[in-house]
Structure formats: C-alpha cells, structure tokens
Amino acid sequence: MTTIAGNLQHVRARIATACERAGRDVEEVTLLTVSKTFGPDAVRAAAAAGQRAFGENYIQEGVNKITALRELGLAWHCIGPVQSNKTRGVAEHFDWVQTVDRLKIAERLSAQRPADRPPLNICLQVNIDGGLNKSGIAPGDALALARAVAALPRLKLRGLMTIPEPAPDFEAARAVHANARALFDHLNAEGLALDTLSMGMSDDLEAAIAAGSTMVRIGTAIFGERAMPRD
Ligand SMILES: *Cc1c(COP(=O)(O)O)cnc(C)c1O
C-alpha cells in the first residue's frame, strides 16, 4: 500500500468514527482531498485508492492537473480565491467553486460556463467567526447572496463553505461549526434546497462532523506537509 492510500484509509476511519459518535450516517459526509502543491502522481495514487473528489487553491495549477488527468473522470473543486480576471479558467475546467462571496464573480462564472458542461456547482464562502481570514461574506448577507446566485442560469447553488480560525479545543471548534450549520439550516428553511456544508480540515474534522458538516476538506493528513505555506 502506498503512503497516500494508507493515509486515506486512516482519514476515512476518522470520518467513520466521528459520524458514529455523532449518530450520523457515514454516507452523509463527503471527503474532499486537497491536492494543492502536490503533483499529478499524488492525485493518481489517491484516485487508485478510490478517491474521486479533489480540491485545488491555485487556479492555473488546478487547470494543469485537471487537463493532465482528464481520463480519470475526477471531480475538481476550486477552494481558493477567484479574482474576476481568473473566472474563465475556473468556469471552463472545474466542477465546483466553493469560494464565491461576491455576486459579480458568480455572474461571470455563469456567463462563462460552457454550454456543453453541466451547471457549475457553487458554495458561498461565509466568514462564520468574523476571523482574521477576511474572505467570505458576513453570515447576515448569506441569504440575499444565496437567492441571487440560485437565480443564475449556468450555476447550481449547493451550499456553504467556511474556514474558521483554529480554535483552542474541540468544544470551541464545534461551537463555531454549529453556527455555520445553523445558517445552513436557516437558508434551507427559506427554501434554498442546499445539500452541502463544506467545513472541517485535517485538524478539526471531528468537531465539524459533530456540528453537521457534509464535506470535509483534507490535505495534510493525506498528502503530508506542504512545501509552500498555507495561504
Ligand atoms: C489547504 C486547504 C485545506 C486543507 O487543509 P489541511 O489542513 O492541509 O487539511 C482545506 N480547505 C482549504 C480552503 C484550504 O485552503
């Protein structure tokens, strides 16, 4: 077994244990493996071990991998910032964008999504803890942006994504994630039909699953430490 396959098995076991403790079905939580800074061979090793969904932060790096690995039929999520002059590559190559926090970006992605591709799946990034990480809309602005994005023809609004600041302990992490889950439930109560709440990384996936995450984004625990610093 490769190191990556072994790490994947370990992360899947962590997810299963967290689901069991939370009384949740393991099928409710999707594992997104974050392959930023790692090359196509690392993605191939994870795909050979059954992994289908991959996250990339840097658009050109992601497009290069998507193009090189086209025959594997993987699902690619953009989880890094998207400037308005970079939307075309994202709209043409990725399957998901999890970092939409402005209507202007969503409008460009919709306009540039090729007609022969299915609608681009979208999560709104929410700055759930008002943390130093300034990306993401304020929770109070989520409903209005969600309604506007849901109305765009070539996008499919799937849910919310958060990157909270590291919390001191499990309970503190779970409390922040629970605020995101409450917002997600509120938007669904308003009729938005969201199915994806993307929260939880290598260090806090258990707390995120306890609070109701449906997608955890895991890089380091699968591929190892990155040479480039986390942005
Ligand atoms: C890098 C990154 C991850 C993965 O983080 P790890 O701590 O390596 O698991 C998840 N989400 C986003 C948005 C990231 O940029």
Domains defined for the chain, CATH in brackets: 3-223 (3.20.20.10)
How do beta strands 120-125 and 75-78 pair? Answer: unpaired
136 CB under 6 A from ligand 1? Answer: no
C-alpha distances in Å from residue 156, one per residue of 27, 85, 98:
22, 21, 12
Q: What is the mean pLDDT of the chain?
A: 96
Mutate which of 7, 79, 134, 231 to test ligand 1's pocket (most atoms within 8 Å of Cβ)? Answer: 79
d(Cα 158, Cα 87) in Å, to the nearest integer?
Answer: 19
d(Cα 133, Cα 170) in Å, to the nearest integer?
Answer: 20
**CB distance 194 to 158 below 8 Å:** yes
Q: Give me 146's structure tokens.
A: 């969600």
Distance in Å, CA 112 to ligand 1 centroid: 27
* pLDDT at residue 229, rounded to an integer: 54
Using 50, 70 and 90 to split pLDDT, how confident is the model at 227?
confident
pTM across the whole model: 0.96
Does position 114 have pLDDT exceeding 80, yes or no?
Answer: yes
Distance in Å, CA 15 to ligand 1 centroid: 16
* pLDDT at residue 222, rounded to an integer: 97
Nearest to 79 by CA among 96, 92, 65: 96
Q: Once rounded to an integer, what is the mean pLDDT over residues 35-48?
A: 97
Please say whether the dihedral angle defined by the alpha carbons of residues 83, 86, 92 and 96, taken in this order, is positive or negative: negative
* pLDDT at residue 190, rounded to an integer: 98
97 CB under 6 A from ligand 1? Answer: no
Distance in Å, CA 62 to ligand 1 centroid: 14
Does position 231 have pLDDT exceeding 70, yes or no?
Answer: no
Using 50, 70 and 90 to split pLDDT, how confident is the model at 132?
confident
